[in-house]
Amino acid sequence: MQADYIVVGAGSAGCAMAYRLAEAGKSVIVVEAGGSDAGPFINMPAALSYPMNMKRYDWGYRSEPEPHLGGRRLACPRGKVIGGSSSINGMIYVRGHARDFDHWAEQGADGWSFADVLPYYKRMEDWHHGERGGDPDWRGTGGPLHVTRGPGTNPLTMAFIAAGGQAGYQLTPDYNGAQQEGFGPFDATIWQGNRWSAASAYLRPAKATGRCKVVQGTAAKVLIEEGRATGVRLTDGRELMAQAEVIVAASAINSPQLLMLSGIGPAAHLAEHGIDVIADRKGVGQNLQDHLELYVQMAANGRHSLYKYWSLIGKAAVGAQWLFTKSGIGASNQFEAAGFIRSKAGIEYPDIQFHFLPIAVRYDGVGAREGFQAHVGPMRSKSRGAVTLTSADPAARPRIFFNYMSHPDDWAEFRTCIRLTREIFAQEAFDPYRGEELIPGAAAQSDAELDAVIRDHVESAYHPCGTCKMGRADDPDAVVDPQGRVIGVEGLRVADSSIFPRITNGNLNAPSIMTGEKIADLVLGKTPLPRANDAPWIHPNWQIAQR
Beta-strand runs (E) in 394-517: 399-401, 434-439, 459-460, 492-494
Q: Are the C-beta atoms of residues 117 and 102 closer than 8 Å to each other?
A: no
**Would the annotation count 31 as a binding residue?**
no
Give this prediction's pTM: 0.98
Amino acid 491: pLDDT: 98
User: What single DSSP character describes residue 203?
Assistant: I
Q: Are the C-beta atoms of residues 295 and 362 closer than 8 Å to each other?
A: yes
Catalytic residue check, 97: no
In order, the DSSP letters of 337-371 are EEEEE-SSTT-SS--EEEEEESSB--TTS-S-BSE
**The CA-based dihedral angle spanning residues 343, 348, 349, 350, taken in that order and rounded to the nearest 10 degrees:** 0
The answer to whether the bond into 440 is cis (omega within 30° of 0) is yes
Q: Residue 523 is inside which H or E element, if any?
A: helix 509-523
Q: Are the C-beta atoms of residues 266 and 284 closer than 8 Å to each other?
A: yes
Query: Domain-by-domain residue ranges, the chain?
Result: 2-524
Amino acid 170: pLDDT: 98
Amino acid 48: pLDDT: 92
| Residues with Cβ within 8 Å of residue 111, at least 6 apart in sequence | 105, 482, 528
- Rounded Cα distance, 514 and 91, in Å: 15
SS3 state at 62: strand
- Give me the architecture of the 2-524 domain, per CATH: 3-Layer(bba) Sandwich (3.50)
- Rounded Cα distance, 348 and 351, in Å: 9
- Rounded Cα distance, 524 and 527, in Å: 9
- Rounded Cα distance, 262 and 277, in Å: 8
For residue 388, which of 494, 473, 275, 516 has the smallest C-alpha distance?
A: 275
| Residues with Cβ within 8 Å of residue 357, at least 6 apart in sequence | 334, 335, 372, 373, 374, 375
Neighbours of 311 (CB within 10 A): 10
- Rounded Cα distance, 478 and 264, in Å: 12
Q: Name the packing angle between helices 155-166 and 408-425 (round to 10°).
A: 110
Neighbours of 384 (CB within 10 A): 15
Give the pLDDT of the chain (547 residues) as one tens digit per residue. Answer: 999 999 999 999 999 999 999 999 999 999 999 999 998 999 999 999 899 989 999 999 999 999 999 999 999 999 999 999 999 999 999 999 999 999 999 999 999 999 999 999 999 999 998 777 788 999 999 999 999 999 999 999 999 999 999 999 999 999 999 999 999 999 999 999 999 999 999 999 999 999 999 999 999 999 999 999 999 999 999 999 999 999 999 999 999 999 999 999 999 999 999 999 999 999 999 999 999 999 999 999 999 999 999 999 999 999 999 999 999 999 999 999 999 999 999 999 999 999 999 999 987 778 899 999 999 999 999 999 999 999 999 999 999 999 999 999 999 999 999 999 999 999 999 999 999 999 999 999 999 999 999 999 999 999 999 999 999 999 999 999 999 999 999 999 999 999 999 999 999 999 999 999 999 999 999 999 999 999 999 999 999 999 9
